[in-house]
Amino acid sequence: MSIPSVDLADFMHGDAASKQNFVKQLGEAYENIGFVAVRNHLFKDGLEEKLYSEVKKFFSLPHETKLKYEDPHIAGQRGYTSFGKEHAKGSTVGDLKEFWHFGQEVTDGDGIKNEYPENIWCDELPEFNKVGIEAYKAMEETGKYMLRAIALFLGLDEFYFDAKIHNGNSILRPIHYGPLVGEPASAVRAGQHEDINLITLLMGASADGLEVLNKKNEWVTVTALPEQIVVNVGDMLQRLTNNRLSSTTHRVVNPPREMWGSSRYSIPFFLHPRSEMRLDCLPQCITAENPINYEPISGGEYLDERLREIGLKK
């Protein structure tokens, strides 16, 4: 499937007309499908290659070594989460994946630091830690500009989201979908779901498998061209905009049988706001034809609710 593609340089460095055209293209893509491919993002050349190299090294460590970095007391929010722990909302079957979480590093004295668990560092792979945080910051900065364009599309001040995502509870999640050793009972690599956060930024995965559900209720394959990232709307933004911007249902399907022996790696960045951000529906997104669809809630309250639904929090 060819998803709409936009050039972030038009928004960041273009003239007024180029910037306005970017906002229009982006908003229409999100209203129609919820996914867009972005070129000229801030994820520097070579960083993706370095990150994937380190991620593969980590997931190749012995199982006992990886388990040192799994903390059952923090709902999977930092460090390692082993196979089958997470499942899609409404499902009881664990996804066929293991993953790692890098979280926010608060360095400016902001008191919100006390809300977050400390990052967990892998002793065996210091470069994994370093490159992970470097990638986190690049994705976070890219996401800031994407949200500025979204704000303008919604008729908000361009910088509406800036303070709300400063030191936000965002997550960089390297994922390993392991080889299939037999016919899966019912699980796919990741069951159909919508993302919890405001927006998700996804660098190219190591293999195909991502599918989205279109307006005709058909599953279609999504791939981004090299040097592009895919950015999609999450449930928090859908909630804030009272369904004006759609959080698209997507999944990661199992490969053809002849490729069961291969792994798949994927590294999404889930851009979350600070916990105190209100997700109450924006007044300009409420009309007689589209009355309020959601009860008032904060970002922190909503995240807590969703972590329980997907099995990471008890």
Structure tokens at 300: 């922190």
pLDDT at 246: 84
Q: Angle at CA 238, nearest 5°, toward 82 and 171?
A: 30
Q: Do residues 268 and 200 make contact, with C-beta atoms less than 8 angstroms apart?
A: yes
pLDDT at 258: 61
CB atoms within 10 A of CB 92: 8
Mean per-residue pLDDT pooled into runs of 10, the chain (314 residues): 84 97 94 86 87 95 96 91 68 72 97 97 98 97 98 98 98 88 56 87 69 79 76 94 89 66 85 97 96 96 86 66
Give φ, ψ of 298 to 5 degrees.
-90, 165
Half-sphere exposure of 155 (CA within 13 A, CB side): 6
Burial of 224 (0-12, 13-18, 19+ CB in 10 A): buried
pLDDT at 207: 45
CB atoms within 10 A of CB 24: 14
Q: Do residues 88 and 190 make contact, with C-beta atoms less than 8 angstroms apart?
A: yes
- pLDDT tens by residue, 242-268: 999 988 887 877 666 666 667 888 899
pLDDT at 250: 77
The alpha carbon dihedral of 18, 24, 29, 34 has a sign of positive
Q: How far apart are CA 155 and CA 107, in angstroms?
A: 32
pLDDT at 45: 72
Q: How far apart are CA 82 and CA 60, in angstroms?
A: 13
Domains and CATH numbers, the chain: 5-309 (2.60.120.330)
Q: How far apart are CA 276 and CA 283, in angstroms?
A: 19
Instruction: Please name the residues in contact with 290: beta carbons below 8 A apart, sequence gap of 6 or more.
Output: 242, 243, 244
Q: How far apart are CA 274 and CA 92, in angstroms?
A: 29
Q: How far apart are CA 234 and CA 200, in angstroms?
A: 7
- pLDDT tens by residue, 217-243: 888 777 666 788 889 999 999 999 999
Q: How far apart are CA 7 and CA 17, in angstroms?
A: 13
Provide the edge-to-edge strand list for the sheet that holds 228-233.
5-7, 35-39, 228-233, 199-202, 268-271, 171-172
